[in-house]
Chain A
Amino acid sequence: MTLSLLILIPLLGGLLAWYSQGFNPNLPRRISLFTLLGSLAYLGILTLTSPLARSSQWLFDESHVWIDRFNITAHFSMDGLSLVLILLTLLMGLVALSSAWCEIDKHQGFFYFNFLWTLAGIIGVFLAMDLLLFFVFWEVMLVPMYFLIAIWGHENRRYAALKFFLFTQAGGLLMLLSTLALVVFHYQETGLLSFNYHVLILAPISSPMAIWICLGFIIAFLVKLPAFPFHPWLPDAHTQAPTPASIILAAILLKTGGYGIIRFVLPLFPDAVQFWSPLMMSLAVLSIIYGALMAFSQHDLKRIVAYSSVSHMGFVLLGCFSLNMIALQGAVMQMLAHGLSSAALFMLVGLIQQRFHSRDLHQFAGLWRYLPQLSAMGLFFAIASLGMPGLGNFIGEFLVLVGALEQHASFAVLASLGLILGAVYSLRMIQKSFFGPFRTQGSDLESPASTADTRIPLTSTSEQASAKVAEHAKPPALPSPYPDLSLKEKLTLMSIAAGLILLGIHPQPLLDMLEQPLAQVLAYAITGSAL
């Protein structure tokens, strides 16, 4: 019961949260908080009390009989890679909860039920070591997320939710077919019917069909990642989802794609991976550049962040298919760092939307004037996501570039264009939203009435602002019409920032934890056998 408890806690917590709504609408969110904290504590106890056996890749292993007829088991295992990603899931779950706390005010019970079930599905994905079980969890995280978007989303939510569902479902279907084909071929070659990862990995199938089976898996994961050209669901889903769902989507859900590639594709299909590697690396480069170009042309803040995710996840794909240690470490670091920075950026966009009822860069500008703390945070995370050394994202991108340059220099050079374009769209976003003269539009209904008179002189002076306006001009001391960050928001954002700094200057503990699993994966991917 050691590992399944990790999944059961949020599942049960979700049910309890739903049930508790009848008593008090404030109960569900508290139950969710306790559930997440409980899971974290449990994870902490697990990792601290267990003797971290350095000799073996796997820290925990747990297996139950499920469908005996086809030798399908409920098999969970955890290694450093899963552990790191589950930790990210729980922490970003807390961030999402923090942003859901006040934003969600209808059907709280059902919301937190879906919220926790999505997280449970994600944790299950990171733990499942049986391919069919993996598929089940893949769906478990999908359906509640569909509801999150379709019920609590913004103006165009039905369309976005359906799009999200169809894309992922198509990918999932391909994965299911590939799983069955893989098992059948494996059975034909070895006479061993098994869905078990640990069994399948030992004898990679040698049939020429392996290439296509591999492609089925890859596409399922590419959709999730998302990589060019399977990305169109992401901007819509992100834009329409409520802030907490956006956070979960960007910070964790996308990572399951990268995880799937590292965990399943690379070791299960060593030859096919070699075959697809150049194509995948070109797709990665295309994602990096295309995502950045798209991010530049958007004026919806959430779409900008969404397309920037496409660009950043391109580095993950590039790292995965560079097939060496440095690049793989970089891919995982990029997943973690992007998880933190995109969660923070989405949270900030949510906060802006709360205050201005718009995410459109045409509708507001110059937020620094009244919201210096929020803007400073936005500045920090935008700078982090453009790859400033000393912060986590740089480590990821740098390591991926180092690794990719060894494999295919031209791809690495093209991918580095992403660093330049990343600066271009991030700075545009900063400039348009935080800097310049303060301005809102059509906000008479939404903004506090007292600000109407203070705003008019401001815009007029700023338009006349020429070189003559004194460098020293002190802005008149006006009371801020919009509330800056509250303590809870500040704490959440500060801890994410601290996490990014820690990732950026002291990533070694994580790298150590990841070393053994990744070395194992590489051993299978390159030589087809264990270390």
Chain B
Amino acid sequence: MNSLFMNDLLMNDLLMNNLLMAIPLLPLCSAAILILFQPNERWTRILGVSSVSLAALLALLLNVQVWDEELFIIQASLGEWLSIGTSELASQHAGSLKLSFGLYLDPLSLVMITIICCIGALIHVYSASYMIQDADQCRFFAYLNLFVSSMLILVLADNLVLLYLGWEGVGLCSYLLIGFWYQKTDNNRAANKAFIITRIGDTAMLIGIILLFYQFDTVNIQQIQQQSQVFLQANTAGENQLIALSCLLLFAGAAGKSAQMPLHSWLPDAMAGPTPVSALIHAATMVTAGIYLIARNDALYQLAPQVLMFIAIIGVLTLLLGATSALFQTDLKRILAYSTISQLGYMFLALGVGAASTAIFHLMTHAFFKALLFLSAGALIYCMNHEQDIMKMGGLRKKLPLLALSFAIGCAALASLPMTSGFFSKELILQQVAMAEQPLLWWGALLGALFTALYSGKLFFIIFMGKPGHAPSHKTPAVMGAVLIVLMILALFGGIQPQGILHQFGELTLDSSSGLTLLEHGLPILVPLIGVILAWFLFGQTRGDKPVNRVGLGRFIHSGWGFDTLFSSVFITPFKKLTYLNRHDIIDASFRALETVSYRLHLMFNRLQTGQLRRYSASLILFSILAIAWGVIR
């Protein structure tokens, strides 16, 4: 779309602008109040929950406002950030850099803020009940609100640097919340790991942003997209390696944040945080930021088809890694974490074959059913007195019927059984891959779907079927139940009307599946069913309590394909050893050597100063003779 066209779409409605500005600012203000004034627990809950709920209401209101519009853009500005070299004085020596706090709302960001605000609000309500006994609620809600606000800034930013601000902000909040229970050293390790691994990706991304700035002379996302489209039409892109490089660097950031291979290993450990945090940050929203980034820069990525191919390959590898690892886990939250990694892999696969809207669709349905699964898991862990090992559970369907239902729906959607939300989106991804004529990728994704169905089935059957294990100690609190019911509805029916979403991107690709063979149509529907049935036979009746011995391949897969060991032996241990060896600073030592040498010299010459007259006169005579001799010889 050219800029003229864009101007027509621009909506200059004061009300909408204010609405848009209020959405990220509400949680930010509430976080600031919570940090600065630290109200009592009751007010903390009220403030923390209401600010996000209000933001969610505003987001829904925005949805209503633009309901009939097909394409629209709302822009608002929270002010200038900085500008350098824009005056004529300095412009002769530098390019000009101009950054602003500009917000930009189009269908893509509208979908994102709706997901973030609504899921966020639900999870805040749930947390108010989940965290009720915790002494540190103020800190918890402050971090959580700050997270929602940063995430909203991330998806609303109109330039890449502001996006980076939100990007680092969510990373920070994720770090703080993973390590929320700071007294346990393991939690802090997990938090550090998460922050540092994502930071590696982020730094690459920052370099990518700077490279883009020099390519396009701007960091404004829309201008970059428009210029890319011009390049694409002019067909001069093929030779521009720098653009491809910056795309790759941006993807590195996305891979870090969205836990793609090889930067995925932080996500399973991140489950150390409170369960609502895992649901909100490490399943529904933050980890999808990478998908958003690439979908947002769709036009730019069209210029670098080889990078897109690379993304698709990484996506498939990651989805296989996630799905197989999930199959071998026994910790409830780790299963879900690996499953998240795997589902994110599906989204990157979709992005890689050029189906950004499909990726966003799957992002949305995944947000629904994964939030449902995590919150159900949280409730289950709460009811089971903080037991997370599924092997110690079993036959819980009678005692916890609500949770059984919510798990059933969540697992079904995860396995993409027909008529659940996950079914529609994953079907669509497989279709797109088939249409992109990448048979290897398609088979990989299909294999992943089989594994997904297998572990979803295993999860459900072991916990709720089979012989009873430990008995639950609590009942599901009512507030949690209510939130679960809402999410169940979303997870079931959230995928019924994808046209709305897909349509808004202006690239309608749904009905064009005519070129597919029966195999390509039928298998994706059948495979999950087969997987679940297989799971029933494998795990349906087992009483899980027996210890699990893992050797060889099983152990390798259980550890997430050994990436932790690899990193630790290649990077961490040498790094620690090196820094430990040099802890006294070799440069300092060399300066100290200077000190030692001069001290030795001092001692040496000191010895000449004996105070004996005959020595002095002897040396005097000796040197006089030498001097005379030297003069004579010359």
Are A511 and B82 touching (Cβ within 8 A)?
Answer: yes
Q: Is A353 an interface residue (CB 8 A)?
A: no
- Given A325-B93, A401-B210, A531-B89: A293 in contact with B579 (beta carbons within 8 A): yes
Using a Cβ–Cβ cut-off of 8 Å, how many residues does chain A contribute to the interface with B? Answer: 70
Task: Report how far A297 CA is from B577 CA in the complex, Å.
Answer: 9
A522 close to B (CB within 8 Å):
yes
Complex contact B587–A326 (CB within 8 A): no
Across the interface, A389 reaches (CB within 8 A) one of B169, B183, B213, B583, namely B169
**Contact A431-B188, Cβ < 8 Å, known A294-B579, A420-B196, A471-B181:** yes
Query: Contacts A232-B585, A412-B207 hold; do A325 and B182 have CB atoms under 8 A apart?
Result: no
Which residues of chain B in 567-594 are interfacial with respect to chain A, using CB atoms and an 8 Å cutoff?
Answer: 575, 578-580, 582-583, 585, 587-588, 590-591
A388 part of interface (Cβ distance < 8 Å): yes
B386 CB within 8 Å of chain A = yes
| Residue B7 is within 8 A (CB to CB) of chain A in the complex | no
B82 is contacted by which of A395, A471, A472 (Cβ under 8 Å)?
A395
What is the CB-to-nearest-CB distance from A193 to chain B, in angstroms, rounded to a whole number?
Answer: 32
CB pair B199 A522 closer than 8 Å: no
B167 nearest CB neighbor, chain A only: A389
A231 and B207 contact, CB distance less than 8 A: no
Residue A523 CB within 8 A of the other chain: yes
Q: CB of B90 within 8 A of chain A?
A: yes
CB interface residues, B 209-226, toward A, < 8 Å: 210-211, 213-214
Check: B56 CB closer than 8 A to any chain A CB: no
Q: Out of A402, A431, A467, A515, which one reaches B90, CB within 8 Å?
A: A515
Contacts of B591 in A (CB 8 A): 232
Contact A388 B172 (CB under 8 A): yes
Known: A419-B206, A436-B188, A515-B87. A405 touches B211 (CB 8 A): yes
Chain B, 28-60, CB within 8 A of any chain A CB: 35
Is A423 positioned at the interface, with any CB of B under 8 Å from its CB?
A: yes
B8 at the binding interface (Cβ < 8 Å): no
Assess whether B338 is interfacial by the CB under 8 Å rule.
no
Contact of B95 with A by CB under 8 A: yes
Is B203's beta carbon under 8 Å from chain A? yes
Known: A366-B183, A471-B181. A420 touches B93 (CB 8 A): no
Once the chains are docked, how many angstroms separate the CA of A102 from the CA of B131?
41
Which residues of A477-531 have CB atoms within 8 Å of chain B's CB atoms? 505-508, 511, 515-516, 518-519, 522-523, 526, 531
CB distance from A158 to the nearest CB of B (A): 14
Contact A434 B182 (CB under 8 A): yes
On chain B, the residues within 8 Å of A378 by CB distance are none
Contact indicator per residue, chain B 265-277, by CB within 8 Å of chain A (1) or not (0): 0000000001000
Q: Which residues of chain B are near A356, meaning CB under 8 Å?
A: none
- In the bound complex, residues from chain A placing their C-beta under 8 Å from that of B203 are 416-417, 419-420
CB of A45 closer than 8 Å to a CB of B: no
CA distance A477 to B469 in the complex (A): 36
- Main secondary structure, interface of A, reads helix
Question: When the two chains form their complex, are residues B214 and A406 in contact, meaning their CB atoms are under 8 A apart?
Answer: yes
**Most chain B CB neighbours (cut-off 10 Å) among A399, A416, A435, A471:** A471
Query: Which residues of A sit under 8 angstroms from B97, Cβ to Cβ?
Result: 326, 399, 402
A419 touches B587 (CB 8 A): no
Residues of A within 8 A of B211 (CB): 405
Q: Which residues of A lie under 8 Å from residue B168 when comparing CB positions? A: 388-389
Q: Quick check: A402 and B213 within 8 Å, CB to CB?
A: yes
Q: B94 touches which one: A232, A325, A369, A516 (CB < 8 A)?
A: A325
Instruction: Identify which of A368, A398, A434, A465 gathers the most chain B CB atoms within 10 Å of its CB.
Output: A398
Q: Are B164 and A389 in contact (CB under 8 A)?
A: yes
Looking at the assembled complex, report how far the CB atom of A205 sits from the nearest CB atom of chain B, in whole angstroms.
Answer: 23
Question: Is B80 a contact of A472 with CB atoms below 8 Å?
Answer: no
The B174-198 residues at the A interface (CB cut-off 8 A) are 175, 179, 181-185, 188-189, 191-192, 195-196
- Chain A residues positioned under 8 Å from B175 (CB to CB): 427
- Are B185 and A471 in contact, with the CB atoms below 8 A? no
Q: Are B95 and A419 in contact (CB under 8 A)?
A: no
Whether A423 and B195, one on each chain, are in contact in the complex, defined by CB atoms closer than 8 angstroms, is yes
Which residues 343-369 in A have Cβ within 8 Å of B in the complex? 366, 368-369
List of A residues within 8 angstroms of B195 by Cβ: 423, 427
Known contacts A293-B578, A420-B203, A507-B82; decide if A437 and B192 are in contact (CB<8 Å). Answer: no
Q: A296-B579, A435-B182 are in contact. List 13 more A-B contacts (CB 8 A).
A: A229-B590, A232-B585, A232-B591, A389-B161, A399-B84, A401-B206, A402-B97, A403-B94, A412-B210, A472-B134, A505-B101, A515-B87, A515-B90
Task: Return 8 A-B CB contacts under 8 Å, by A number.
Answer: A326-B85, A388-B172, A403-B94, A405-B207, A412-B207, A423-B196, A436-B182, A438-B183
Q: Which 4 A-B pairs have CB atoms at the shortest separation, nearest pair first?
A: A325-B94, A297-B579, A232-B588, A389-B165
Binding site for B on A (CB under 8 A): 228-229, 231-232, 235, 290, 293-294, 296-298, 324-326, 329, 366, 368-369, 376, 383, 388-390, 395, 398-399, 401-403, 405-406, 412-413, 416-417, 419-420, 423-424, 427-428, 431, 434-438, 462, 465, 467-472, 474-475, 505-508, 511, 515-516, 518-519, 522-523, 526, 531
